[in-house]
Amino acid sequence: MKQINRVLVIDDDKDDQQFLHKAIHDLFPNMECISLNNGKEALKFIEENPPPPSYIFLDLNMPYLNGFEFLKEFKKEKGNSETSVYIYSTSSNPRDKEKAKSLGADDYIVKFTDLTSLKARLKNVIQT
Partner 1 sequence: MEPTKNKRSANFNNWAFIVSSLFLLSLAIFSLVWFQKQKEAEDWIAHTYEVKLKIEKCFGLLLEAESNQRGFLLSNDSTYFKNINHAETLLNRSLKQLDSLVEDNEIQIKNVNTLRSLIFFRLSRLHILIDSSAKANNFTDSHLTSPDKVLMDSIHHQVIIMQAEENKLLGQRTFFKNIGNDRVITFIVLFSVISFMILIWSFFKIKNESSMRLQAQMELIRQNEKLERKNRDLTTFSNIASHDLKEPLRKIQMFTNLIMELNPDYLKNKSFEYFQKISQQSSRMQTLIESVLKYAQTDEGDFGFQNTNLNEIANLATDSLSEIIKEKKAVVNVRELPAIFCSPTQMEQLFINLVENGIKYARPGMTPIIEISATLSEETLKIDFRDNGIGFDEAYEKKIFEVFQRLHSSDEYSGTGIGLAICKKIVENHHGTITAQSILGEGSVFSVIFPVEKTAAKRQK
By the rule CB under 8 A, 81 interacts with partner 1: no
For partner 1, the closer of residues 39 and 52 by Cβ is 39
Of these, 3, 5, 6, 13, which contacts partner 1 (CB under 8 A)? Answer: 13
Q: Which is nearer to partner 1, 24 or 54 (CB)?
A: 24
Q: Which is nearer to partner 1, 28 or 112 (CB)?
A: 112
Among 48, 76, 94, 116, binds partner 1 (CB under 8 A): 116
Q: CA–CA separation, 111 vs 1, rounded Å?
A: 31
User: What is Dmax (Cα atoms) for the chain?
Assistant: 36
**Residue 116 CB, nearest approach to partner 1 (Å):** 6
Positive or negative, the CA dihedral 22, 24, 26, 31 is: negative
> Whose Cβ is closer to partner 1: residue 19's or residue 55's?
19
φ/ψ of residue 117, rounded to 5: -65, -40
Among the listed residues 63, 82, 98, 120, the single contact to partner 1 using CB under 8 A: 63
- Whose CA is closest to 6, among 79, 84, 68? 84
- Rg (the chain; Cα; Å): 13
At how many degrees (to 10) do helices 67-76 and 39-48 cross? 30
Query: Interface with partner 1 by CB under 8 A: which residues?
Result: 12-15, 19, 37, 61, 63-64, 90-93, 111-116
